[in-house]
Amino acid sequence: MDAEKAHALGFAAIRACRASGVSRILRRITAPDPSLRTEAMGLTFPSPFGLAAGFDKGATGINALTDLGFGHVEVGTVTGRPQPGNPRPRLHRLIKDKAVINRMGFNNDGADQIGPRLAAAHADLWHDYERGTRPIVGVNIGKTKVVPVDEAIDDYLHSTRTLAPQADYLAVNVSSPNTPGLRDLQHIDALRPLLSAVSEEADKAAGRHVPVLVKIAPDLSDEDIAAIADLAVELGLEGIIATNTTIRREGLGLRSTTEEIESCGAGGLSGKPVAARSSEVLAMVRDRVGPDMTIISVGGVTSGDDVAERLRQGATLVQGYTAFLYEGPFWAATINWRLKKQMKHRGH
């Protein structure tokens, strides 16, 4: 089946479970153990493991996803204006590698439509969960494709004003390979005013402090990664999300044939093959920012042992996405179970 169609059907089935009233039963089965609660950015995450941006682009299934045991769900990427994304087909599986290549292009309904959905989802979460157990909702924001790079700040600020009041945290995405010019915003001279403006506007719009993180690409040079880490410290950002998808194909140990890879075309590659570079970037960023800043590690995690290893390497939180497509709906619950078991073992 076409990968995007399969994703849509699978997500519809997850939402149908919520609508059918089995959510209370699911939550009892999948709820993270209290020992997994993690404090970060002034928030309490019921588990250090969450769902990365890209799965729920439109905030249409937040509550259904949290029923599956994710400690947080990052919605988006959301842009200032609605946009259809790139032409189909734009999502491809590399099954031998448990990987995905996508060039979705930030397809979403835009900040104005997604804001009310976030508000409704948050209200339901406050109703469904006790204090300290409510899953966290992050919002990932990016640049509208038709907006020129030199007007990007205004575009991000529209999303910030609209979405910050409903977000537990904001992630500024400047690292997707599927929006022309977006990665140029990772250059320090462009990134500094963008992050400063978003941070200031988020607090103003929400009437409270909203943590802001920046999401970076694995394809940056080590020098550029160090420069962004230094900038995050300088600006007082709450954290860094490392990393997004990669445009690389060589040197990843891919098992798929050259023909299979080339047939997928351009786009960002995610899944197991990016694990090594994601770990490298995590180590570099942690070394640069010190022990206190939040780092969300994402890229190539499949098992509870993978998540535990990222936490040992210095991640505060860990996200996954691609393996969800391969491992099935109880993936997060399985990871939480494994993390709990490891913690008990270390305790003995």
Residues forming the annotated binding site for FMN?
53-57, 77, 140, 173, 215, 243, 271, 300, 321-322
d(CA 59, CA 57) in angstroms, rounded, equals 6
Query: What kind and span of H or E run contains 271?
Result: strand 268-271
Q: How many CB atoms lie within 10 A of CB 197?
A: 15
What is the H or E stretch that residue 319 is in?
A: strand 317-320
Q: Is 196 a catalytic residue?
A: no
Plot region of 25 (φ>0 → left; ψ -120 to 50 → alpha; else → beta): alpha
Non-local (6+) Cβ contacts of 59 within 8 A are: 75, 78, 114, 117, 118, 121
Q: Which two tokens stand for residue 89?
A: 């087909």
Q: Answer positive or negative: Cα dihedral of 213, 295, 69, 129.
A: negative
Could you list the residues known to form a binding site for substrate, using ranges.
57, 102-106, 173, 178, 244-245
Contact 107, 142 (CB under 8 A): no
Residues sharing a CB contact under 8 Å with residue 129, sequence separation 6 or more, in sequence order: 135
Residue of 65, 63, 208, 52 whose CA lies nearest to 129: 63
Name the residue type at position 11: F
Q: Compute the Cα dihedral for 142, 146, 149, 151 and give only its sign.
A: negative
Binding-site residues, in ranges, read: 53-57, 77, 102-106, 140, 173, 178, 215, 243-245, 271, 300, 321-322
Catalytic residue among 23, 176, 199, 270: 176
- The partner residues of 212 in beta bridges, in order of sequence, read 170
Backbone angles phi, psi at 105, to 5 degrees: 80, 35
| Active site members | 176
